[in-house]
């Protein structure tokens, strides 16, 4: 069974209509600007807002691993000892502690997702499976989930970076309406620098999905210092044209750092502090590059 970090209701940026987005835990990319760092690890993790801690000490005696101590008026957690059991979350008086990662049996998750069926039907929405990288979740679990959602007539969208075995995509393809497919860069070496791995598998899977008839929304996280240039955008455009990728929509997603505050909560440093979003004029220029190349459904943002 896979771990889920969040179920976000009334989402309007993860596909068509009003959607409920399920965030799965675990990803094999390490994007410098990742805004869901709590979904990178495949294990449960403790999130702790240490800056707001008042040092009441309620969490210290209840930790079975003795991972929490008081130092200089703050609770300090030794993450090497912490097992993310969640015991401390019940005793934090300011609710500064939470565990990222929860198991949901398929039937329980489907029941939760069906609560919003009325919104899906009225808006042309549905359920979006995201992450992390959902395509690296337990594929038996994932296949059962999308089959049951399909059975109830709920539209399924999958948000993916493409870095997963293609066999996984093949197994769920009949039950998925749309793939939100991330492309960051054409240059594999620069891709490795900012994402932690090359892009060969990502591009190969995209070509196969296009060949196999998947409905594809290409999403391009746009970062001024990484791919926010004519050269980088034209490289993506030329690739899509040369490989005859059947693109239904292109979403240009300006960089944002709204997830940077999560890094400290899981004991990591945010490495994207020096990155920036292209300005409005630059983003509109990139839209025009796609239009000039024959792409007509282009949108800034999700």
Predicted confidence at residue 152, as pLDDT, reads 97
Predicted confidence at residue 239, as pLDDT, reads 98
Question: DSSP label at 187?
Answer: -
The answer to whether 243 and 207 are in contact (CB under 8 A) is yes
Predicted confidence at residue 149, as pLDDT, reads 98
Identify the segments of the chain with pLDDT beneath 70.
none
Question: DSSP label at 43?
Answer: S
* Pairwise CA distance, residues 72 & 94, whole Å: 18
* Pairwise CA distance, residues 86 & 46, whole Å: 8
Query: What percent of the chain is helix, strand and coil (3-state, nearest 5)?
Result: 35, 20, 45
Which residues in the chain are classed under CATH 3.20.20.70? 3-42+102-300
Question: Does the domain formed by 3-42+102-300 have CATH 2.40.50.100?
Answer: no
The answer to whether 142 and 38 are in contact (CB under 8 A) is no
* Pairwise CA distance, residues 217 & 297, whole Å: 10
Structure tokens at 249: 């929509």
**What phi, psi does 171 have (nearest 5°)?**
-70, -30
The DSSP string of 139-164 is: HHHHHHHHHHHHHTT-EEEEEE-S-S
Predicted confidence at residue 302, as pLDDT, reads 81
Which residues in the chain are classed under CATH 3.30.70.20? 45-100
The structure's pTM equals: 0.94
Tell me the fold of 45-100.
Answer: Alpha-Beta Plaits (3.30.70)
User: What interhelical angle do 230-242 and 280-292 show, nearest 10?
Assistant: 30
């Amino acid at each position: 069974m896979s771990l889920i970090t969040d179920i976000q209701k009334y989402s309007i940026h993860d596909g068509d209509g009003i959607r409920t987005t399920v965030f799965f835990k675990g990803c094999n990319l390490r994007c410098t600007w990742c805004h869901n760092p709590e979904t990178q690890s495949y294990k449960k993790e403790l999130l702790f807002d240490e800056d707001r801690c008042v040092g009441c000490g309620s969490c210290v005696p209840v930790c079975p691993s003795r991972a929490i101590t008081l130092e200089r008026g703050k609770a300090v957690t030794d993450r090497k000892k912490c097992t993310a059991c969640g015991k401390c979350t019940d005793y934090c008086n300011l609710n500064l502690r939470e565990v990222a990662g929860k198991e949901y049996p398929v039937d329980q998750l489907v029941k939760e997702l069906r609560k919003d069926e009325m919104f899906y039907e009225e808006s042309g929405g549905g359920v979006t499976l995201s992450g992390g990288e959902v395509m690296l979740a337990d594929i038996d679990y994932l296949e059962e989930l999308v089959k049951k959602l399909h059975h109830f007539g709920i539209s399924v969208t999958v948000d993916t970076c493409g870095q997963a075995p293609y066999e996984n995509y093949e197994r769920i393809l009949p039950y998925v309406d749309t793939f939100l497919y991330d492309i960051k860069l054409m240059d594999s070496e620069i891709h490795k620098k900012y994402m932690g791995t090359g892009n060969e598998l990502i591009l190969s899977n995209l070509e196969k999905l296009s060949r196999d008839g998947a409905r594809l929304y290409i999403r391009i996280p746009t970062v001024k210092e990484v791919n926010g240039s004519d050269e980088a955008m034209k490289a993506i455009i030329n690739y899509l044209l040369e490989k005859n990728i059947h693109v239904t929509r292109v979403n240009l997603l300006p960089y944002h750092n709204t997830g940077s505050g999560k890094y400290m909560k899981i004991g990591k440093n945010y490495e994207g502090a020096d990155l920036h979003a292209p300005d409005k004029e630059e983003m509109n220029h990139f839209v025009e590059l796609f239009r000039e190349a024959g792409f007509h459904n282009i949108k800034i943002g999700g």
